[in-house]
């Protein structure tokens, strides 16, 4: 199955590059040590570098805004092709709605995704994912695999909710204590594209430069709020964190609230704009 | 050669906790980190590589360097608290060697950095030799070795039932005074130094590659996070900022903080007026490597990389410094 997808990606990439349809194909490759990583292929002769399997956990949409953001395309920048799983396309959807990426500048090589591996089996968040194929694409590789989708029980969030405020504070203090403020979570997140992050702003300086729990907690909680209704649950943050902090748990709690309030799943439908970027005069919230 | 059983070591370490701040690899929520410990039972000495080096005990990730209190017209200045004598056990030879890069900037040339100098003076390093090079390690390519005792005060080598022990400095000798050890005639088991040797370009070879297209291509996948710089035992950049921590009518409390900073950050190099001489991530990634292999040796006399492999292990997008060193033997501009 992965081999079919891999070959499909290569064929499409070769075609797009040799026809001059795109200037670059962003996909995955293996490092000389065999580690999966983002790949940038500019030449049709290099498409053999592209690979695909169930360890391709990076959300490649993070690379689009530096290539095909509206501010970048004045000089008739070449289009970019990108390999995208269903969650990646949800992220792309968010970016397009927010005016960060011009849809026409991107060629989406959609992947029929069986879910990413986490240790022995398919990661839990992938088992919950209802989409086997992306909500849109320009070309699809692979065939939608039959997968038993886990019911959305929010069991992970329930664990958090069952804690008293003091217990929750203790839990997150323990987790954030080992954060090193490397911002790998933010940099790996397609939803985080601020030119200057609030925690790094100098004038005015909102947050101290200290690597202490209050600053770290502020950063993570702020980031989670900024991703309300925008986080696509790709878990790129968890994957990037060198300290293995369960960052996506914060996003999950907020995703649950957004689902309950708006019936909205981030990026799930290209036609529906994100609720927190929408204003309706007559709207009433059951708050 | 002295040898010490695990039991004797435990007793000795427990004794040290009363007299010193004892710092050791300790499991914190599943991650092995250097932290202060109160009992030897917390210490983990069987490990490969910790996520972070112990550099924070010399150049803290966060440090108050000055406190100012203003009441009406009266201003009081307070210096930071004095550091207690500290012992760090379980220091890998590469991390200890990394302190050379910190010394070069903060200690060796006057004026020395008083805060760093104090911590360096008050710290005794107990090394723990690696039996071999672990995954991603390349210390032997940079003049180090898994059992190199040059930069520690005491060196431990793991044996079957205990540790071999070699006293390197007077500081180390003072620490083991009274320690129950056995003299042994047996030769120390040498560490296995096999493993791939990475070619390291000489400092004067780098300037010709400065404009090579390679850096742009390498940085394509870089996320511009700070992970590589913070886990690095030789990265030593910091930022200093004054924070008002409390203020009211006729009253203010101000802290001057020094904290780790990273050259991977977009704003790192930004100057007054808003100009940024290194606006692109390719320029920043290139700078990190040039700092290590070109600028540091030229300015301070030594390469600022010890081959610990941490930046390789933590990079979320598998950028590999050894791959870069191999790649630049055949620059794009020459092909």
Least Cα separation, residue A187 to chain B (angstroms): 6
Q: What is the arrangement of strands in the sheet containing B86-91, beginning at the earlier edge strand?
A: B31-37, B21-28, B86-91, B123-128, B154-158, B162-167, B2-5, B182-183
Mean pLDDT (whole number) for A273-284: 81
Q: For chain A, how many structural domains are there in total?
A: 2
β-pairing verdict for B62-71 and B31-37? unpaired
Instruction: Find all residues with CB under 8 Å of A164, minimum gap 6, and list them.
Output: none
B313, HSE (Cβ side, Cα atoms, 13 Å): 20
CA A47 to chain centroid, in Å, comes to 24
Last residue of a domain, one of A141, A164, A198: A141
Query: What pLDDT is attached to residue B335?
Result: 52
Whether A283 is covered by a domain: the verdict is no
d(CA B12, CA B159): 18
Among residues 50-69 of chain A, which lie with CB inside 8 Å of chain B? 58, 62-63
d(CA B13, CA B28): 20
Cβ distance A180 to B224 less than 8 Å, yes or no, reads: no
B130, HSE (Cβ side, Cα atoms, 13 Å): 25
Contact indicator for B319, B221 with CB cutoff of 8 Å = yes
Q: Which of B220, B279, B319, B323 to mutate to test the interface with A (most CBs of A within 10 A)?
A: B220
A135 and A183 in a single domain? The answer is no
Question: What residues in B contact A38, CB-CB < 8 Å?
Answer: 220-221, 317
Query: What pLDDT is attached to residue A76?
Result: 64
Q: Does A214 touch chain B (CB under 8 A)?
A: no
A93 and A182 in a single domain? The answer is no
Cβ distance A240 to B225 less than 8 Å, yes or no, reads: yes
Which helix (H) or strand (E) is B239 found in, with range?
strand B238-248
Question: What residues in A contact B262, CB-CB < 8 Å?
Answer: 182
Whether A48 is covered by a domain: the verdict is yes
Check whether A203 has a pLDDT greater than 90: no
A18 and A81 in a single domain? The answer is yes
Q: Does A174 touch chain B (CB under 8 A)?
A: yes
Whether A287 is covered by a domain: the verdict is no
> Of B210, B164, B206, which is closest to residue B188 (Cα–Cα)?
B164
Which helix (H) or strand (E) is A110 found in, with range?
strand A106-111
d(CA B21, CA B87): 6
Query: What pLDDT is attached to residue B334?
Result: 58
pLDDT tens digits along A163-186: 999 999 999 999 999 999 999 999
Q: What is the arrangement of strands in the sheet containing A139-141, beginning at the earlier edge strand?
A: A36-41, A24-30, A80-84, A106-111, A139-141
Whether A275 is covered by a domain: the verdict is no
Poorest-pLDDT segment among A1-15, A64-78, B319-333: A64-78
Cβ distance B314 to A242 less than 8 Å, yes or no, reads: yes
Query: What pLDDT is attached to residue B179?
Result: 84
> Of A73, A115, A111, which is closest to residue A92 (Cα–Cα)?
A111
Whether A184 is covered by a domain: the verdict is yes
Which helix (H) or strand (E) is B47 found in, with range?
none
A126 and A160 in a single domain? The answer is no
Whether A118 is covered by a domain: the verdict is yes
A217 and A192 in a single domain? The answer is yes
A34 and A89 in a single domain? The answer is yes
A132 and A189 in a single domain? The answer is no
Check whether A287 has a pLDDT greater than 70: no
Q: Can you give the residue range of the structural domain that contains A263?
A: 155-270
Q: How do the pLDDT tens digits run along chain B, 335 residues long?
A: 789 999 999 999 999 998 999 999 999 999 999 999 999 999 999 999 999 999 999 999 999 999 999 999 999 999 887 889 999 999 999 999 999 999 999 999 999 999 999 999 999 999 999 999 999 999 999 999 999 999 999 999 998 888 999 999 999 999 998 788 888 777 777 889 888 799 999 999 999 999 999 999 999 999 999 999 999 999 999 999 999 999 999 999 999 999 999 999 988 999 888 899 999 999 999 999 999 999 999 999 999 999 999 999 999 999 999 999 999 998 777 55
Check whether A228 has a pLDDT greater than 80: yes
Check whether A74 has a pLDDT greater than 70: no
d(CA B320, CA B325): 9
Instruction: Extract the tokens encoding A220.
Output: 């993570």
Whether A277 is covered by a domain: the verdict is no
Query: What pLDDT is attached to residue B60?
Result: 97
Contact indicator for A141, A4 with CB cutoff of 8 Å = yes
Query: What pLDDT is attached to residue A286?
Result: 63
For residue B311, give the chain A residue with the closest CA: A242
d(CA A40, CA A63): 10
d(CA B201, CA B182): 45
Name the pLDDT band for A1 (thresholds 50, 70, 90).
low
> Of A99, A107, A127, A60, which is closest to residue A277 (Cα–Cα)?
A99
Average pLDDT over all residues of chain A: 92
* Phi and psi angles of residue A10, each rounded to the nearest 5 degrees, phi first: -65, -45
For residue B135, give the chain A residue with the closest CA: A33
Contact indicator for B125, B88 with CB cutoff of 8 Å = yes
Which helix (H) or strand (E) is B131 found in, with range?
none
Query: What pLDDT is attached to residue A35?
Result: 97
- Residue B26: CB atoms within 10 A of its CB come to 17
pTM (two decimals): 0.95
A170 and A76 in a single domain? The answer is no
Name the pLDDT band for A75 (thresholds 50, 70, 90).
low
Which helix (H) or strand (E) is B70 found in, with range?
strand B62-71
Query: What pLDDT is attached to residue B83?
Result: 87
A72 and A181 in a single domain? The answer is no
Cβ distance B223 to A210 less than 8 Å, yes or no, reads: no
pLDDT tens digits along B197-251: 999 999 999 999 999 999 999 999 999 999 999 999 999 999 999 999 999 999 9
A119 and A208 in a single domain? The answer is no
Check whether A261 has a pLDDT greater than 70: yes
A129 and A191 in a single domain? The answer is no
pLDDT tens digits along B64-86: 999 999 999 999 999 887 889 99
Mean pLDDT (whole number) for A93-121: 93
DSSP state of B85: P
Instruction: Extract the tokens encoding B85.
Output: 């004598």
Whether A280 is covered by a domain: the verdict is no
Contact indicator for A61, A45 with CB cutoff of 8 Å = no
A132 and A169 in a single domain? The answer is no
pLDDT tens digits along A249-260: 999 999 999 999
Q: Is A87 helix (H, G, I), strand (E, B) or coil?
A: helix
């Amino acid at each position: 199955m992965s081999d079919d997808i891999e070959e499909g990606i290569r064929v499409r990439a070769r075609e797009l590059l040799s026809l001059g349809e795109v200037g670059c194909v962003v996909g995955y490759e293996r490092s000389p040590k065999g580690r999966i990583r983002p790949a940038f292929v500019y030449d049709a002769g290099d498409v053999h570098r592209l690979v695909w399997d169930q360890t391709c956990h990076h959300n490649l949409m993070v690379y689009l805004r530096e290539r095909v953001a509206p501010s970048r395309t004045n000089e008739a920048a070449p289009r970019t092709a990108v390999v995208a799983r269903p969650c990646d396309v949800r992220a792309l959807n968010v970016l397009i709605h927010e005016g960060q990426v011009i849809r026409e500048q991107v060629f989406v090589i959609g992947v029929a995704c069986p879910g990413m591996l986490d240790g022995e089996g398919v990661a839990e968040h992938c088992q919950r994912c209802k989409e086997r194929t992306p909500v849109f694409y320009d070309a699809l590789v692979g065939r939608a695999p039959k997968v038993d989708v886990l019911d959305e029980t929010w069991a992970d969030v329930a664990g958090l909710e069952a804690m008293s405020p003091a217990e929750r504070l203790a839990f997150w203090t323990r987790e954030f204590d080992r954060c090193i403020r490397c911002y790998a979570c933010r940099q790996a997140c397609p939803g985080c594209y601020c030119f200057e992050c609030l925690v790094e702003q100098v004038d005015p300086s909102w947050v101290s430069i200290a690597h202490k729990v209050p600053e770290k907690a502020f950063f993570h909680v702020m980031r989670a709020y900024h991703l309300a209704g925008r986080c696509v649950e790709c878990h790129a943050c968890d994957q990037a964190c060198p300290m293995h902090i369960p960052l996506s748990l914060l996003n999950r709690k907020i995703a649950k609230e957004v689902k309950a309030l708006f019936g909205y799943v981030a990026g799930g439908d290209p036609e529906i704009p994100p609720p927190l970027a929408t204003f309706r005069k007559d709207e009433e919230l059951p708050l | 050669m002295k040898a010490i059983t695990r039991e004797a070591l435990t007793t000795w370490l427990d004794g040290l906790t009363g007299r010193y701040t004892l710092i050791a690899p300790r499991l914190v929520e599943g991650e092995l980190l250097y932290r202060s410990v109160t009992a030897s039972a917390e210490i983990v000495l069987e490990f490969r590589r910790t996520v972070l080096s112990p550099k924070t005990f010399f150049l803290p990730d966060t440090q108050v360097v000055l406190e100012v209190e203003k009441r009406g017209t009266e201003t009081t200045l307070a210096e930071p608290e004095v550091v207690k004598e500290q012992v760090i056990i379980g220091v890998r030879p590469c991390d200890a060697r990394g302190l050379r890069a910190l010394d070069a900037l903060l200690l060796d040339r006057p004026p020395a950095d008083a805060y760093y100098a104090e911590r360096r003076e008050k710290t005794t390093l107990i090394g723990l030799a690696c039996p071999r090079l672990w995954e991603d390690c390349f210390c032997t390519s940079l003049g180090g070795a898994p059992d190199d005792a040059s930069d520690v005060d005491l060196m431990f080598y793991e044996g079957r039932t205990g540790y071999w022990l070699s006293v390197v400095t007077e500081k180390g000798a003072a620490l083991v005074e009274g320690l129950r050890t056995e003299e042994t005639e047996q030769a120390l088991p040498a560490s296995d130094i096999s493993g791939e040797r990475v070619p390291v370009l000489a400092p004067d070879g780098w300037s010709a590659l400065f404009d090579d297209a390679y850096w742009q291509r390498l940085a394509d996948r870089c996320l511009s996070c700070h992970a590589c710089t913070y886990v690095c035992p030789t990265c030593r950049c910091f930022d200093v900022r004054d924070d008002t921590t409390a203020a009211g009518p006729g009253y203010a409390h101000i802290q001057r903080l020094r904290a780790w900073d990273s050259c991977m950050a977009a704003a790192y190099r930004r100057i007054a007026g808003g100009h940024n001489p290194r606006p692109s991530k390719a320029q920043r990634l290139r700078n990190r490597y040039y700092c290590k292999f070109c600028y540091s040796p030229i300015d301070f006399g030594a390469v600022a990389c010890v081959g610990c492999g941490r930046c390789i292990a933590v990079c979320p997008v598998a950028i590999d410094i050894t791959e870069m060193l191999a790649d630049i033997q055949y620059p794009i501009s020459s092909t």
